[in-house]
Amino acid sequence: MGADRRRPDSIGPILVASGTYGYGDEFGSRFALERLGGIVTKTVTLKPRAGNPPHRMVATPSGMLNSIGLENVGLKAFVFEKLPKLASVPTAIVASVGGETPGELVRLVRALEAAPCAAYEINFSCPNVAKGGARYWADARRLESTTRKLRALTARPLIAKLTPNATDPAALARACEQGGADAVSLVNTFVGTAIDLERRRFVLGRASGGLSGPAIKPMALAQVYEVSGAVQIPVVGMGGIVTATDALEFLVAGAACVQVGTASFARPDAPMLVADGVAAWCASHGVKKLADIVRTVRVWGEGEEGDAWT
């Protein structure tokens, strides 16, 4: 992410979202990861987590519900087993960290300061854990004070990943900005459920999970537009991005860069295809810097004469 803390988009416009590409080393021999701006790792917690009981994933119309529950190897194995392998990955590694309390996040960031990663994405938004999840972190004062504590520990970029399941996501983003975050990323999954009618049971192992995929794109775009107009720091957009067109829509809505997530389950090369498509579109439209198109979307009736509905 470079020396300029306020420009997380400087590492490239297309990243891989947390939880959708493992820890990042699994695909290095198969795909040209250098075409990406970065990989956000699976969220790491202080201790290993087995995750939620099955079933953990279910397909939905134009999307997917998951209830993974932050399954991960824990901090020790992440530092000594995973990160050394990532040293050879030819793109930036953003460590996603998750904690049930501010103190846990402080311990994680302090421990990772000696590790080779480019930035931290603080997972304030997982809806699939009983404690320390999105509801706990959907508190502006808690977000600001926690971000401030983390800011004091590191010069690396801090990206605050926000929940979309909040009444006022812009207020949460402003709190993170005031606490010293370099960027906010959104959206994480929306809370949803699926029911097996014949058995009259929830399909997932829990009553609800996180909805992702193309189904959430319109809502994600709306929140990116709202939040990017409420803060001065960059917004990292995600939510239903499958094609280069999707990614470009997020950029003109206000995202400085984007993350590709669920699409990778169907096509592991989806992030690279999106990156190539964005580059091709920019070349064909004479766009030399992506910053030139960020938040350039207009409402009908604004801008050039003739744009208004008649």
Q: Which are the catalytic amino acids?
A: 126
- Strand locations in the chain, DSSP E? 14-16, 38-40, 57-60, 63-66, 92-97, 119-123, 158-161, 183-186, 190-192, 195-196, 201-202, 209-212, 235-237, 257-260
Q: What distance in Å separates the CA atoms of residue 100 and residue 95, rounded to the nearest whole number?
A: 17
What Rg do the C-alpha atoms of the chain give, in angstroms? Answer: 19
Q: Report phi then psi at 56, rounded to 5.
A: -110, -20
Query: Cα dihedral angle (45, 50, 56, 57), rounded to 10 degrees?
Result: 50
Cis preceding linkage at 55, omega within 30: yes
Name the residue type at position 164: P
Do residues 173 and 227 lie in contact, with contact meaning Cβ atoms separated by under 8 Å?
Answer: yes
Report the Cα–Cα distance between both ends of the chain, in Å, rounded: 46
